[in-house]
């Protein structure tokens, strides 16, 4: 039962994902501000998980994928939740239906997970879109998430990467084909000249699928002098 003062401080709020009315203290953490039906559709990744790619894994050691194809440049990935049907639906609304306001709650979940994982980057960046894709969509969802993460962690955002080759859809390709299609797909943005690169970088992306995109971004940053590169994705 709630104490009288708990009732008083729990003003009715709106679920930041679906907008339905429910009561939660305005200063409650993101997971407590979600309505029960949204919360039920999201499955946070909790330990044990693979220390490298951040997927749920029965033992706290490298998963099979990471044992076979370990990126030399990407130190570690943190994924907030499993990419099940409700997160897929939210991502579709966010990316293709222009629900850009979702960047705020999603970014809040990401910043919280990164902090809990004990990763302390110095600069935040994101996986860039190819200019053609950017023109089609009008915004880069990873950039919006990175802005929110940087704002919450009080870190600078460095827009240093650019995509010089469009990458065709990856789903039906083998890992080797994906890697060679991605090789050299990114470079340092000419506008990044003057940015101090010898920092601990965090690369933000919406979803971690095979990790090849993030590994390639990490490679580009490392080649430019980055001290360490970790990544953060909303779904894994
Ligand atoms: Zn909701
Ligand atoms: Zn792994």
From first CA to last CA, the distance across the chain in angstroms is 37
Q: What is the C-alpha to C-alpha distance for residues 42 and 83, in angstroms, rounded to an integer?
A: 9
| Centroid of ligand 1 to alpha carbon of 40 (angstroms) | 9
Map out the domains of the chain with their CATH numbers. 1-40 (no CATH), 41-235 (3.40.50)
Number of H helices, E strands in the chain: 10, 8
Q: Which ligand is nearest to the CA of 41?
A: 1
pLDDT at position 12: 64
| Centroid of ligand 2 to alpha carbon of 56 (angstroms) | 9
| Digit-coded pLDDT (tens) for 124-171 | 999 999 999 999 889 999 999 999 999 999 999 999 999 998 876 655
CB within 5 A of ion ligand 2: which residues?
50, 52-53, 63, 66
Closest of 16, 46, 50 to residue 33, by C-alpha:
16
Side-chain-side CA neighbours of 122 within 13 Å: the count stands at 10
Side-chain-side CA neighbours of 46 within 13 Å: the count stands at 3
Q: What is the C-alpha to C-alpha distance for residues 123 and 224, in angstroms, rounded to an integer?
A: 14
| Centroid of ligand 1 to alpha carbon of 55 (angstroms) | 25
| Centroid of ligand 1 to alpha carbon of 102 (angstroms) | 12
| Centroid of ligand 1 to alpha carbon of 62 (angstroms) | 34
Torsion sign over Cα 229, 178, 63, 109: positive
Q: Could you give the strand order of the β-sheet that contains 123-126, starting from the edge strand earlier in sequence?
A: 76-81, 228-235, 200-207, 123-126
| Digit-coded pLDDT (tens) for 181-223 | 788 899 999 888 888 999 999 999 999 988 999 999 999 999 9
Q: Which ligand is nearest to the CA of 34?
A: 1
């Amino acid at each position: 039962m709630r104490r009288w003062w708990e009732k008083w401080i729990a003003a009715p709020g709106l679920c930041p994902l679906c907008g339905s009315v429910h009561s939660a203290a305005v200063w409650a953490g993101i997971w407590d501000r979600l309505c029960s039906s949204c919360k039920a559709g999201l499955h946070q990744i909790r330990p044990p998980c693979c220390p490298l790619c951040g997927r749920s894994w029965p033992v706290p050691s490298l998963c099979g994928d990471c044992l076979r194809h370990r990126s030399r440049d990407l130190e570690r990935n943190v994924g907030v939740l499993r990419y099940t049907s409700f997160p897929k639906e939210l991502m579709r609304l966010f990316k293709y239906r222009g629900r850009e306001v979702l960047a705020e709650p999603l970014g809040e979940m990401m910043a919280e997970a990164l902090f809990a994982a004990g990763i302390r980057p110095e600069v935040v960046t994101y996986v860039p879109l190819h200019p053609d894709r950017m023109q089609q969509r009008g915004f880069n969802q990873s950039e919006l998430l990175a802005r929110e993460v940087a704002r919450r962690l009080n870190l600078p955002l460095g827009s240093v990467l650019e995509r010089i080759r469009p990458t065709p859809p990856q789903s039906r390709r083998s890992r080797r084909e994906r890697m060679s299609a991605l090789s050299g797909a990114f470079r340092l943005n000419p506008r990044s000249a003057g940015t101090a690169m010898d920092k601990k970088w965090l690369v933000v992306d919406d979803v971690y699928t095979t990790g090849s995109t993030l590994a390639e971004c990490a490679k580009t940053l490392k080649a430019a002098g980055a001290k360490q590169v970790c990544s953060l994705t909303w779904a894994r």
